[in-house]
Chains A and B, each alone.
Chain A
């Protein structure tokens, strides 16, 4: 690694200290609707773009300032360490940004700067009502028409989809039984008449995600991400970031939450709740160590391969350990307090339940490890 990551981190930490007052509005997510939170975050996105910090680690052709991918990891880490709430949008950015820069540099050049400035949000349109874990069975169709495609079908569980201007949609361009071979990744404009988006209220109490409907939605041929028929490869590429860099981003946030939860613990907490807090710390430390290795590998241009499922399993365990420690230590706050902080933590407790589901369920990760790392005989699925 040639870049001086530690030096970059020190500089950024210094900037965060010097600008503490300007950053004050973003220390804690505003209570209330997700829409309000997303709107509120735009200011922070703009600020970090203007100061340049969010542009490091993204290619210059896409409006970034270049340098290794690990510089992005430094940003998430330092924001959380400085008690600044990492914008939700960065989760989407880390999922779709690498996809665009690697497979659609022209789209990246247009859209990434807008995203970084807080002007645009995107959606990840993979899952369907009938294709979740078994993603290769998806049915949304893209028929060749003119110099592009016409898309028909439905996507579901699209995080922040109701705020998205565009979505990366994995659609079937091959025969219905072509499984993962007949898929193509398309960049779909959600503002067009053929596309509609509906938020889905979630168990957390927020509209975490949305469903997207496509009825003869048009996609120009220039908006294919990667190759026609190469959608699966593009999706697999993106998963390294969705599992690897996302885990790093989350561990940064989880370490902040741990500090907060430890400070909230009542005097005379029971040994079992102390054990839950201790375990949460231990698991987060393990996640961080593992995730560090993965981020450095991604940054060196390596593909961590199936071993990245280790990160995803650990992340689910860390998320749940942290918020369960809060539940145990601060049961009253969790169950009967309607203050802003308790409400936010309660939403996050709910969200932590989903971390073993999205991005490939933990059971699927263990299957991947069984097949491709331990090389056990494949079972019936």
Chain B
């Protein structure tokens, strides 16, 4: 990790531990930092601890749009961003999600571009849902066709969002695995630690394998890969891995893991929420398979020996 990346990691962890997400957002939204987000290592350094902490706030907006005054509208379900904004007579019908408080301007992915619309007339409802700590807002309403665009294309925004979410997922899965490892080392049944039972060990070892592979892929594939690779390979690997990890952790932590006090539920909720944002891994596998049969096999040569 170079100094720059380490500084991002340190700042993020410090402020998250202190519960100061809004302060973190404010600091990271500094326009001078905008270009730093192009470095995948910086994204990892911020998003993983964020996923570990399962905190709320507007970090996704900041990392992806790089402007504090714009919120990203994400579809409620599926991989297709167009479903958050449908054309209807004389304007757009919006229905999507925003993470954290909604800024004055909304970024809407449309026709390969990122349109900017004012939030003023829209209906914004805080969501409790599966993961209250995520501080989602559901945003609905009609607006005129955007006459202003962000100077970045929709594909880039999608790729950035997928990468950020993937690292958050690794954070959520990693936190669950760590909690479970600690638990099975100390909890005894039948006179021995739970962690000495092979069924328990192998569940956790498998979670480690999956999380490691997802992390390797994120490190090996550059930020310039297209959104299909980002969404259907990188993010879905991380989603599948995080779900493997939280499921293993839930099983081996038994009744204790089911309590609110233990804290595992934060990772469980976050892993499932984030996997579904921009489309879950199960559906992604179908889409990836279909692309392959159309001759668009994800090229292995994106990962080269050098």
Bitwise, B273-289 to A at CB < 8 A (1) or not (0) is 00000000010111111
Q: Is A357 an interface residue (CB 8 A)?
A: no
Q: Is B69 an interface residue (CB 8 A)?
A: no
Closest to B211 in A: A310
> Which B252-294 residues sit within 8 Å CB-CB of chain A?
282, 284-293
What residues on B are CB-neighbors of A144 within 8 Å? none
The answer to whether A255 touches B300 (Cβ under 8 A) is yes
Q: For the complex, give the distance between the alpha carbons of A380 and B199 in Å.
A: 12
The answer to whether B198 touches A74 (Cβ under 8 A) is no
Q: Interface of B with A (CB < 8 Å)?
A: 181, 184-185, 192-193, 195-198, 200-202, 204-206, 208-209, 212-214, 216-217, 219-221, 232-233, 236-237, 240, 282, 284-293, 295, 297-298, 300-301, 303-306
CB within 8 Å for A277 and B204 given contacts A271-B286, A290-B213: no
The answer to whether A376 touches B292 (Cβ under 8 A) is no
The answer to whether B184 touches A379 (Cβ under 8 A) is no
What residues on B are CB-neighbors of A273 within 8 Å? 289
The answer to whether A282 touches B304 (Cβ under 8 A) is no
A-B CB proximity, top 3 nearest = A274-B289, A278-B288, A278-B289
Chain A interface bracket (under 10, 10 to 19, 20 to 34, 35 or more) = 35 or more
What residues on A are CB-neighbors of B304 within 8 Å? 5-6, 9, 292
Q: For the complex, give the distance between the alpha carbons of A281 and B300 in Å.
A: 9
The total of interchain contacts (Cβ-Cβ below 8 angstroms) comes to: 173
Segment among A152-160, A217-225, A257-265 that sits at the interface with chain B: A257-265
CB distance from B12 to the nearest CB of A (A): 24
Listed by A's residue number, 24 A-B pairs whose Cβ atoms lie within 8 Å are A258-B292, A274-B286, A275-B286, A277-B293, A278-B232, A278-B286, A278-B291, A281-B289, A282-B233, A283-B213, A285-B237, A285-B298, A286-B214, A287-B213, A307-B212, A313-B205, A367-B201, A367-B202, A370-B205, A376-B193, A377-B185, A377-B195, A378-B196, A379-B198
Q: Interface of A with B (CB < 8 Å)?
A: 1, 5-6, 9, 70, 73-74, 77, 81, 251, 255, 258-259, 262-263, 265, 269, 271, 273-279, 281-290, 292-293, 295-296, 307, 310, 313-314, 325, 363, 365-367, 369-370, 373-380
CB within 8 Å for A370 and B286 given contacts A5-B306, A290-B212: no
What residues on B are CB-neighbors of A376 within 8 Å? 181, 184-185, 193, 195-196, 200-201, 204
B213 is contacted by which of A77, A279, A286 (Cβ under 8 Å)?
Answer: A286
What residues on B are CB-neighbors of A295 within 8 Å? 305
What residues on B are CB-neighbors of A283 within 8 Å? 213
The answer to whether A73 touches B205 (Cβ under 8 A) is no
Q: For the complex, give the distance between the alpha carbons of A259 and B300 in Å.
A: 10
CB distance from A251 to the nearest CB of B (A): 8
Please name 20 further chain A to chain B contacts, defined as beta carbons within 8 Å, in addition to the given A286-B217, A365-B205, A375-B181, sorted by A numbering.
Answer: A276-B285, A278-B289, A281-B288, A282-B237, A283-B213, A284-B300, A286-B214, A292-B304, A313-B209, A363-B202, A366-B202, A366-B206, A370-B195, A370-B205, A373-B208, A374-B205, A376-B200, A377-B193, A377-B195, A379-B192
Q: For the complex, give the distance between the alpha carbons of A290 and B303 in Å.
A: 10
Q: For the complex, give the distance between the alpha carbons of A374 and B192 in Å.
A: 17
The answer to whether B220 touches A289 (Cβ under 8 A) is yes
Closest to A287 in B: B213
The answer to whether B284 touches A278 (Cβ under 8 A) is yes
Which secondary structure characterizes the binding site on chain A?
A: helix
What residues on A are CB-neighbors of B305 within 8 Å? 5-6, 9, 70, 73-74, 77, 292, 295-296
The answer to whether B202 touches A370 (Cβ under 8 A) is yes
The answer to whether B301 touches A81 (Cβ under 8 A) is yes
CB distance from A201 to the nearest CB of B (A): 32
The answer to whether B288 touches A265 (Cβ under 8 A) is no
What residues on B are CB-neighbors of A286 within 8 Å? 213-214, 216-217, 237
Q: For the complex, give the distance between the alpha carbons of A293 and B232 in Å.
A: 22
CB within 8 Å for A282 and B216 given contacts A369-B208, A376-B201: no
What residues on B are CB-neighbors of A9 within 8 Å? 304-305
Q: For the complex, give the distance between the alpha carbons of A251 and B298 in Å.
A: 14
The answer to whether B236 touches A282 (Cβ under 8 A) is yes
What residues on A are CB-neighbors of B196 within 8 Å? 376-380
The answer to whether A269 touches B236 (Cβ under 8 A) is no
What residues on B are CB-neighbors of A366 within 8 Å? 201-202, 205-206, 209
CB distance from A259 to the nearest CB of B (A): 6
Closest to B217 in A: A289
A279 is contacted by which of B197, B219, B285 (Cβ under 8 Å)?
Answer: B285
Q: For the complex, give the distance between the alpha carbons of A325 and B305 in Å.
A: 27
CB within 8 Å for A374 and B181 given contacts A282-B285, A289-B221: yes
CB within 8 Å for A310 and B212 given contacts A262-B292, A366-B206, A377-B185: yes
The answer to whether A379 touches B232 (Cβ under 8 A) is no
The answer to whether A289 touches B216 (Cβ under 8 A) is yes
A278 is contacted by which of B206, B285, B300, B306 (Cβ under 8 Å)?
Answer: B285
Q: For the complex, give the distance between the alpha carbons of A313 and B241 in Å.
A: 14
Q: For the complex, give the distance between the alpha carbons of A255 and B209 in Å.
A: 20
The answer to whether B303 touches A288 (Cβ under 8 A) is yes
What residues on B are CB-neighbors of A373 within 8 Å? 205, 208
Q: For the complex, give the distance between the alpha carbons of A288 and B229 in Å.
A: 14
A285 is contacted by which of B212, B219, B233 (Cβ under 8 Å)?
Answer: B233
The answer to whether B213 touches A292 (Cβ under 8 A) is no
The answer to whether A292 touches B285 (Cβ under 8 A) is no
The answer to whether B306 touches A293 (Cβ under 8 A) is no
What residues on A are CB-neighbors of B185 within 8 Å? 375-377
Q: For the complex, give the distance between the alpha carbons of A363 and B209 in Å.
A: 13
What residues on B are CB-neighbors of A374 within 8 Å? 181, 201, 204-205, 208
The answer to whether B292 touches A281 (Cβ under 8 A) is yes
